[in-house]
Amino acid sequence: MTFLYVIARPRLVGAEAISKSMSYEIVIGLEVHLQLNTKSKVFCGCSTNFGSAPNTQTCPVCLGFPGSLPVLNRQALELGAKVAIALNCQIAKEIRFDRKNYFYPDLPKDYQISQFDQPLAQRGILNIITGESEKKIKIRRVHLEEDTGKLFHQKDHSLIDFNRSGMPLLEIVSEPDMNSPEEAYLYLTALKSILEYIDVSDCNMEEGSLRCDANISIRKKGDNALGTKTEIKNMNSFKGVKLALEYESKRQAELLEGGKKIIQETRLYNTEKCVTEPMRSKEEAHDYRYFPEPDLVPFDFEESFLEKIHKGIPELPEPKRNRFIKDYRLSNYDSAVIVSDKDTADYFEKCAGLYGNPKAIANWLTGDVFAYMKENNVLIKDLNLKPEHLSDMLKMIDSGVITGKIAKTLLIEIIATGADPRRLVKEKGLEQISDVSLLEATTSQVIRENPKSAEDFKNGKENAIMFLVGKVMQQTKGRADPNKVNEMLREKLKGVK
Amino acid sequence: MMELNTLTAHNLTELLKKGDISPLDICNSIINRIEKTEKSLAALAHFDKEKALERCGNLSKTAEKGELWGIPIFIKDNICVKDELTTCSSKILKGFKPPYNATVIDKLTGLDAILMGKTNMDEFAFGSSTETSCYGPTRNPWDLERIPGGSSGGSAAAVAGDEAIFALGSDTGGSIRQPAGVCGVVGLKPTYGRVSRYGLIAFASSLDQIGPITKDVEDAAILLKAISGHDEMDSTSADIPVSDYLAGMKKSIKGLKIGVPKEYFIEGMDKEVKNSIKAAIEKLEKLGAVCEDTSLPHTEYAVSVYYLVATAEASSNLARFDGVQYGLRADNIKSMMDMYKKTRKEGFGDEAKRRIILGTFALSSGYYDAYYSKALKVRTLIKTDFDKAFQKFDAIVTPTSPTAAFKIGEKISDPLTMYLSDIFTISANLAGIPGISIPCGFTKNNLPIGLQILGKPFDEETILRIAYNYEQNTDWHKRKPDIK
């Protein structure tokens, strides 16, 4: 439920504290690997279902058998182009692929079909919101490639599952434009939000459909040259990315403070110990010997193909957020929270079409509804609360049929039963009581039973009346109209001098 | 019984249609011949008599008969046949049986041809002599002391030695045309993209093509038509209609313009070869073609360019033979790296190792621009040479090889001299154009000499037409070797 975390709450934590006190600046660039949700793999017809029995979704092509040849899946290209357009990238005129050569058992051909010097797209922009200000993070490149198989290390041998081999992967590389682990976190959530809007991936970090590597370095504030960077791998949640980067920036700062040098290397994040550990140094880095993939013919992107993709892109989070602020007069915060998830935004707009007070909808949505969703770990699309029902409930509050307090319990009741709120109110007798004759007895009783408070009020203690109102509300199980009760109590206490 | 194994496919089809013979007669004739000559030739990598007979027996006997019904065919050992050994004559693919057919195999069996077995080759098609095979060298039927050319030496020797009616080879730098030339048979390398490469175990993906090796030009036309066409499984296969080669080649060559590039008549070239080619050119002129000298100025760079591009691609294509999934895995391995190293050390022969190392070097960072990238640029220049020449000419004729077959062992320890065997055939692969080699004479030692005819992209029809007209007016193709 990412939408709960969208807005930065600027605070000084770990790494930032260190870097600020020692006047270092953190520089972070992110590489995101995204599994595109195509029906079949990127260079063969095998299914992309997750969780099938090992090696059941394979064929000679994705097993890299000799003599087999790749054929590009147009849907993968389409989804890749969709991402490129959504990230405001320049799309390549010619599509071509390269081979990245390295030996590893999860890579059946011992080369990966990828894109090297001519990626699918370049030079994009992604906006993130830090507090109340915006920051533009530049996207360096977006390219399409094939995924590898998966290794399972046993005691004295390893097993390989090639179901993942040949799944379409989109690599999205940012410029080193982020200056804190928090910004890296915001970049990832903003990116994920866009990717979910355009429906190109499940974006599930646990299932591995979204993976992230980070490059991080630090430098003295004011320095122009970048410091020596390390690459961090093996982070399996957005939170993990942030924690790993906090640890790593602290580690680098401590090294520099101690007069030591940072070694350029790849480090693995240890999720249990919450530390980064060396994996391989630059000297051990591969020479991938990229060269143009001779098995796939380069071809030009047709204008009509791109136009079709363009038309398929819905309103994205950022323009939607601005529109919500303008059209519904929502606050920056409410608007950002609501649009970060497309289903939530759609839900909001449905309600807004049924009920004329968008601010009230936003309050209920981000308040009680989100709280319920979080508590019960349910997504809005699975939530048993029709927009009509929420709107009806809000209308009943406005017209005085129910109190706001009753509405809170009614909401839970609606979600639990899925029933029409008006029917529920009738059946359960939840209508607000504003009839003086019905409240007569209760107000008198409360004054009788709380003589001390009654006396206090009479002696000028204005607050005491609230206590008595509360008592009446309690007696009526929240159904009494609090304004009416207040009025009646004052009248009664004035009369009895 | 007539010696059916000596006939061509089109002869046999006629006899089959008449009902004079049965597919089993042909099969038996082939088997008899193999039993007699295979010990001398060593042309075959995998041959199982019982299986061949079984396939023959399984042949459909319905009225609906494919164009190659009952005709046996041999396949080079780098083309995948489902559940049959396909080893590229390499130890590293020991025991490998692909779980699928190459597209050409599906096409052939779809036309009711009978798969007989696999032919020997240079390991992974690396060579011009079939000496680098892990099964040992194949011998030239015209002189058993000599090489049959390569890398499709097994296919060429089997066809020339009448162990096969016809066969498939593959050509990356001359591997169909050069062995056909030195064995005195017909070999055709199609335009890049004419025949699907799906199921051809890649040597150099941007150069490889499968093609026919046959006893005459008509069979080459028949077999080419059978295997050509667009294939959805191969992105590099062209979606261009396949011509009716058989009808097209029978037209006269009167008025056709043929270029003779001066760069193909080099210093130190074998005199007998040179004279045979000159005579062939005169013959073509007599038949009405207009032959003129021309120039392909970048020819001298072809061998260098080829040995960078082809080895670079090969180094990557052969990476997958790593001991993980199939083929050889070395014993007593201690780690992953140990498995890679030992398996590849034991599995690959010297020439394969040489080319993998050369290609890896050419692609390495710091050398890429000077070697691979530069080679691609020169490759474009070589292609442009041909484009220009074909603006003026319908075809180009050259010798297939600078010499007739050399002796086994003569060049195996001198790779650079060996590489020059392909000096006249390599350019066609770099330019992607079609080429055919046909017999055009013999040396005084009775060794065949090949004439190469190169054509415009996807114009196999014209080179077949020139070849057919020449063949019909000469009788080099009728001579048979006497295998002791």
Residue B76 among the catalytic residues: yes
The number of C-alpha atoms within 13 Å of B321 and in the hemisphere containing its C-beta is 33
Interval A410-427 mean pLDDT: 80
Cβ B313 vs Cβ A294: under 8 Å: yes
Q: Exactly one of B128, B129, B151, B437 is catalytic; name it.
A: B151
CB–CB of A296 and B235 under 8 A?
yes
Residue B377 CB-density burial (10 A; 0-12 exposed, 13-18 middle, 19+ buried): exposed
- Using pLDDT thresholds of 50, 70 and 90, give the confidence band for residue A283: low
The model's pLDDT over A106-115, given as tens digits with 9 standing for 90+, comes to 999 999 999 9
CB–CB of A66 and B235 under 8 A?
no
Interval A262-272 mean pLDDT: 90
Under 8 Å CB pairs connecting chains A and B tally to: 98
Fold observed for domain B4-258+392-478: Amidase signature (AS) enzymes (3.90.1300)
Domain ranges of chain A: 2-310, 315-428, 436-495
B203–chain A Cβ distance below 8 A for any pair: no
Residue B65 among the catalytic residues: no
Mutate: best of A65, A107, A148, partner B, most B CBs <10 A: A65
**Cα dihedral sign, B192-B193-B197-B203:** positive
User: In terms of pLDDT, which residue wins out, A422 or B482?
Assistant: B482
Q: Which of residues 205-244 of B touch A (CB under 8 A)?
A: 205-206, 232-236
Distance CA(A326)–CA(A322), nearest Å, equals: 6
Out of B234, B236, B319, closest to residue A109 by CB: B319
Would you list the DSSP string of B138-162? --BTTBTTB---SSTHHHHHHHHTT
Q: ω before B89 within 30° of 0 (cis)?
A: no
The model's pLDDT over B276-292, given as tens digits with 9 standing for 90+, comes to 999 999 999 999 999 99
Average pLDDT, chain A: 87
B361–chain A Cβ distance below 8 A for any pair: no
B308–chain A Cβ distance below 8 A for any pair: no
DSSP summary character for residue A429 = T
- Percentage of chain A modeled with pLDDT above 70: 93
B408 pLDDT exceeds 70? yes
User: In terms of pLDDT, which residue wins out, B419 or A127?
Assistant: A127
End-to-end alpha carbon distance in chain A: 58
Strand, helix or coil for residue B103: helix
Nearest CA in chain A to B359: A289
Place of tokens 């559940």: B83
Other C-beta atoms closer than 10 Å to the C-beta of B247 total 10
The model's pLDDT over B94-143, given as tens digits with 9 standing for 90+, comes to 999 999 999 999 999 999 999 999 999 999 999 999 999 999 999 999 99
Distance CA(B347)–CA(B333), nearest Å, equals: 14
- Using pLDDT thresholds of 50, 70 and 90, give the confidence band for residue A285: low
pLDDT at residue B1, as a whole number: 52
Please tell me the distance in Å from B235's CA to the nearest CA on chain A: 6
Distance CA(A160)–CA(A107), nearest Å, equals: 10
Judging contacts by C-beta atoms under 8 Å, the chain B residues touching residue A291 are 312-313, 316, 363, 368, 372
Question: Which range, A422-431, A452-461, B445-454, is most confident?
Answer: B445-454
pLDDT at residue A381, as a whole number: 85
End-to-end alpha carbon distance in chain B: 22
pLDDT at residue A378, as a whole number: 85
Nearest CA in chain B to A100: B316
- Using pLDDT thresholds of 50, 70 and 90, give the confidence band for residue B210: very high
- Using pLDDT thresholds of 50, 70 and 90, give the confidence band for residue A22: low
The model's pLDDT over B286-329, given as tens digits with 9 standing for 90+, comes to 999 999 999 999 999 999 999 999 999 999 999 999 999 999 99
Interval A185-203 mean pLDDT: 93
The class that CATH gives domain A436-495 is mainly alpha
Please tell me the distance in Å from B484's CA to the nearest CA on chain A: 38
Count Cβ neighbours within 10 Å for each residue of A175-198 and write b for 16 or more, e otherwise: bbbbbbbbbbbbbbbbbbbbbbbb
Residue B151 among the catalytic residues: yes
Determine the length of chain A.
497
Show Cβ contacts of residue A279 under 8 Å, excluding neighbours closer than 6 positions. A233, A265, A266, A267, A268
pLDDT at residue B245, as a whole number: 97
CB–CB of A108 and B364 under 8 A?
no
- Using pLDDT thresholds of 50, 70 and 90, give the confidence band for residue A13: very low
pLDDT at residue A8, as a whole number: 37
CB–CB of B202 and A111 under 8 A?
no
| Of the candidate ranges A25-39, A190-204, A454-468, the one whose mean pLDDT is the lowest | A454-468
Would you list the DSSP string of B229-292? S--TT-TTS---PPP-HHHHTTS--TT-EEEEEGGGS-TT--HHHHHHHHHHHHHHHHTT-EEE
The model's pLDDT over B233-251, given as tens digits with 9 standing for 90+, comes to 999 999 999 999 999 999 9
CB–CB of B96 and A66 under 8 A?
yes
User: In terms of pLDDT, which residue wins out, A407 or B347?
Assistant: B347
- Using pLDDT thresholds of 50, 70 and 90, give the confidence band for residue A11: very low
Distance CA(A172)–CA(A89), nearest Å, equals: 11
**Total-model pTM:** 0.89
A454 pLDDT exceeds 90? no
| Of the candidate ranges A144-153, A444-453, B25-34, B390-399, the one whose mean pLDDT is the lowest | A444-453
B100–chain A Cβ distance below 8 A for any pair: yes
